[in-house]
Structure formats: C-alpha cells, structure tokens
Amino acid sequence: MDFNLSEQQKMLQRMAGEFADDAVKPQAAEIDSKSRFPFDLAKELGKRGYQGLPYPAQCGGSGAGYLSYVLVLEQLCQASMTVGAVMAINTVPEEAIFRFGNEEQKKALLAPLAKGEMLGSIAFTEAETGSDPRAITTTSQKSGDGYAVTGQKQFVALAPAANLALVFAKSEGKGLNAFVIDTSSPGYNLREPCETMGLKGLGASVVYLDEVKVPQENLLGEEGQGFKILLEAISLGRLGVAVEAVAVAQAALDISIDYAKQRKTAGRPIARLPAVQWHLAEMASRIEAGRLLVYRTAFIRDQGLDIKYESSVAKLFVSQMAVEVTRRAMQVCGSYGTMTSMPVERLYRDAKMTEVYVGISEIQRNIIAEHLI
Ligand SMILES: Cc1cc2nc3c(=O)[nH]c(=O)nc-3n(C[C@H](O)[C@H](O)[C@H](O)COP(=O)(O)OP(=O)(O)OC[C@H]3O[C@@H](n4cnc5c(N)ncnc54)[C@H](O)[C@@H]3O)c2cc1C
C-alpha cells in the first residue's frame, strides 16, 4: 500500500475539509438538537460530486476511487457525523447497483444517485430482526410483469429524502430478492422518524410497503440473489461507518487538546498533567491505528478486491475505539464535556451508534471468526 496520497486526493481532502468547516460544522449542533434532516446539505453533497466518487463516469461518477471517498467522508464526519452518514448510506444502494445491475440499471438507477440528482436508502431491517436475513417477513410476489412487495421496514435512514430504496424481500422461491424501489410508488409509506440517542437527523424511519408494484427491470441481479447482494453492498456500508467512527474520534481528540491547553488547575493548564497527557496519547495512538485499517480497506477495494473480512475488522475495531476515545474526551473536558451545548457529548452519543448500526459488533465478530476458521 502506498502511504502517499496523490495530488488529486490531497486536493479533494482539502476542499472537503473547507466545505465541512464552512458549511457543515455551523449546522451540526442544530441538526442534532432538533433531529433535523439536512436536506440542503444532502443536495450540496450531490452538487459537489461527493455521491459518485468511487464510480466511473459512464455510471455518473468521477472515478476518483474508494480511498478518495473515504478521505472526503472523513472530513465531513468530523464536522457532523449525520451529514457524512447521508453520503455513506447513499453509497450502499449505489454499490449494489454497480456490482449487480445490468447496463440499463446502471444508467437509469445508479447514474442519478452518483450525480447527486437522487438520494438512495437501504431497507433491510424489520421490527423482528436487524441481523438475521432468514427472519425477514417482507414478501415479493410475481404480479403482472413485475412484483408486488408487502411488509414493514424499520430504521430506514434517509427515508424522508430518499427517491430510491434498495429493499430486501423474501422471494417466492428460495432466499431474498433485492429491488430498487421508487419511493413515490403507491403503497410506499413513511412514518415519523425514530428518535435515536445519536446520529440524530438521519431520518431513520419506519416504512410500510403495501403491495408496492415493482417493475421486473427493478429486480437487481437474479431471483433469490438478494443475500449475496446485501453482503457485497453492506461491506461498503461497514467501511462508511468505520470512517464515521475514525472521524468522530479525531474530532473528540482535537477538542480535548484545545480544552486541555486552556483549562487551568493550580495555575497551570491541565495539559501539563501526566494523567491528561496519557488520555491524549492513548486517544491519538488508537485513532492512528484505526485510520490505517480504514484506509487499507479502501485501498483493497480500489484494487477491485473483496472487502467483506477487512470491512468487518475495520468496523469492529474502529467503532469500539471511537466509543473509548470519546469517553476519554468526556473525562478530559470534565463537567463542561457533559453539557449539551458543547460538542463532546454529541460525539460520545454518535460514537455509540457506530457499534450498532449497519451490523452490530457481534455480527462483525461472527464474520471475522468465520473467515479465520
Ligand atoms: C440510526 C440508525 C440507522 C439505521 N439505518 C438503517 C438503514 O438505513 N437500513 C436498515 O435496514 N437498517 C438500519 N438500521 C438498523 C440497524 O442496522 C440494525 O438495528 C442493527 O443491524 C441491529 O439489528 P437489531 O437491532 O435488530 O439487533 P438484533 O439482531 O435483534 O440483535 C440484538 C442483540 O442480540 C445480540 N445478537 C443478535 N444476533 C446475534 C448473533 N448472530 N450473534 C451474537 N449476538 C447476536 C447482540 O447483542 C445484538 O446487539 C439503523 C439503525 C439505527 C439505530
């Protein structure tokens, strides 16, 4: 792996950092406190070409690659994990269409997502399961020259803004089907977004599917191939969450350093106390290790290789790291860290979400162990 970023990657990173500081950071506290979906910023991400970084020009993207995607996402998530997650989640249906779609589907469904003209969501989780595809009860039945999809999906992020949804439903034969569904279809209905402790404003909503008519051309891959499609697309989703975790941890470290230099005890900055220095050193070393795991996973994807194992390793390690690093940041910032008007407690809440969504840590351990043995 080449540890030097190209000039193009450095430029993308710098520009994303400036955009994050100027446009995203000022909105981060309000997005969180009001659980407000960032419609304006979601559009802006598209206009800036951030939704199509990994995909080639003929699919509506810029062909900048997965590492470029990671570099941009990291900058956005340091300002607001919710805003970055809008980009990361949109990539999951994109990746599914890119890997399994035919040429027409890439043109009709992937290109508008990659160009930022549309937003995509993923609907896998149901009330009774988020980890076990066998427990999915949403059905897809042959109807006319397409399918009728019926069921209920839980925690569908981006739902208030998404134009397309990658929906997993039981096939009439064996396994799951994966459909790209137009969310304006009759029978596709949303309920109010769920209130979660972190990642507020991501619009994770309950979606009802009541005999939604889906044309044959919106079936992705073959009948019953849904689980394979899910595994492939979700591995990029896991990489996205791992980036979110690194970014949140870095933001917590930056705040802790500033605070430790300013806050005084016995007339000296607390940054001079070994106890505080050790917190900062532990935080920094874990972040460095986590970032390398994440960059390496993106590098491997850029070689066209499978990242199911690497993305699970990265997500498991980095999400736990982010929880630990933000906990230490809370400690360094003392009572001020606990104030809801300060960003550290938001970072702490957001960090916890990375251990849970897009596959709980227990599932990552199962995937890793399966690979090992
Ligand atoms: C903010 C947010 C956004 C989300 N966005 C989306 C989205 O866009 N699309 C979507 O489909 N879903 C989404 N989800 C759902 C999320 O991905 C699932 O909730 C998550 O994968 C966990 O599923 P679960 O809650 O059903 O946990 P369960 O599968 O019920 O697991 C509960 C607990 O049981 C244990 N457990 C379960 N299975 C195993 C196992 N095999 N081995 C060991 N232990 C196990 C673990 O301790 C686990 O934490 C989102 C969730 C949140 C909170």
Residue 124 DSSP label? -
pLDDT digits (tens, 9 = 90+) for 343-361: 999 999 999 999 999 999 9
Nearest protein CA to atom 21 of ligand 1, as residue: 359
Query: Are 198 and 346 within 8 A, CB to CB?
Result: yes
CA of 287 to the centre of ligand 1 (A): 25
State the fold for domain 227-372. Butyryl-CoA Dehydrogenase, subunit A; domain 3 (1.20.140)
- Percent pLDDT > 70 in the chain is 100
Q: Which of 92, 155, 319 to mutate to test the pocket of ligand 1 (most atoms within 8 A of CB)?
A: 155
CA of 355 to the centre of ligand 1 (A): 10
CATH number of 7-118: 1.10.540.10
| Integer Cα distance of 16 and 84 in angstroms | 11
- Listed in order, the ranges of the chain carrying CATH 2.40.110.10 are 121-222
- Listed in order, the ranges of the chain carrying CATH 1.10.540.10 are 7-118
Q: Which residues are registered as beta bridge partners of 147?
A: 142, 214
pLDDT digits (tens, 9 = 90+) for 81-121: 999 999 999 999 999 999 999 999 999 999 999 999 999 99
| pTM for this model (two decimals) | 0.97
Long-range contacts of residues 108-112, Cβ cutoff 8 Å, at least 24 apart = 108/217, 109/164, 109/180, 109/218, 110/55, 110/59, 110/60, 111/59, 111/60, 112/60, 112/163
- Listed in order, the ranges of the chain carrying CATH 1.20.140.10 are 227-372
Q: What is the pLDDT of residue 133?
A: 85
Residue showing tokens 């595994």: 231
Q: Which atom of ligand 1 has the smallest separation from the CA of 199? A: 1
| Integer Cα distance of 293 and 371 in angstroms | 17
Residue showing tokens 């309920």: 191
The token pair that represents 25 in the structure block? 């950071």
CATH number of 121-222: 2.40.110.10
Ligand 1 pocket member 230 (CB < 6 A): no
pLDDT above 90 for 3: no
Ligand 1 pocket member 359 (CB < 6 A): yes
Ligand 1 pocket member 199 (CB < 6 A): yes
Span 125-144, average pLDDT: 93
Q: State the DSSP string of 44-77.
A: HHHHTTGGGTTS-GGGTS----HHHHHHHHHHHH
